[in-house]
Amino acid sequence: MYVVISSIRKTGCCGAPVLPNFRNSAEAARAWPDNEEQRLFEERKPLVLEQRMKEARPKVFFVESIEVAKISILVGEMAKFINQATGYDIGENRFFE
């Protein structure tokens, strides 16, 4: 049961992989790089997603900070949120410059 679930998580399906016709050497030679490319893509996919999450973390923090204000937000509070999210020191008076 565990093997089936882990196979579905990795590949999206559970079954025997489709193998190329090894009697035809040209078809087998073309299939190998495709399989290798797919394997490398699957290995790198979690790293790419993790990198995207790291890049989006400040934006998520900023949006979550804004969502706290249900109806409206004061200009001074908005300036503080921008300072927290980006590090850009902006005040209430310089907000519109």
Domain boundaries, the chain: 25-92
Structure tokens given for 49: 């997603």
CA atoms of 95 and 89, how far apart (whole Å):
10
Mean pLDDT, rounded, of the chain? 77
Residues near 84 by beta carbon (within 8 Å), at least 6 away in sequence: 61, 62, 65
Q: Over the stretch 20-52, which tens digit does the pLDDT of each residue have?
A: 667 777 777 777 777 778 888 888 888 888 999
Identify whether the C-beta of residue 79 lies closer than 8 Å to the C-beta of residue 90.
Answer: yes
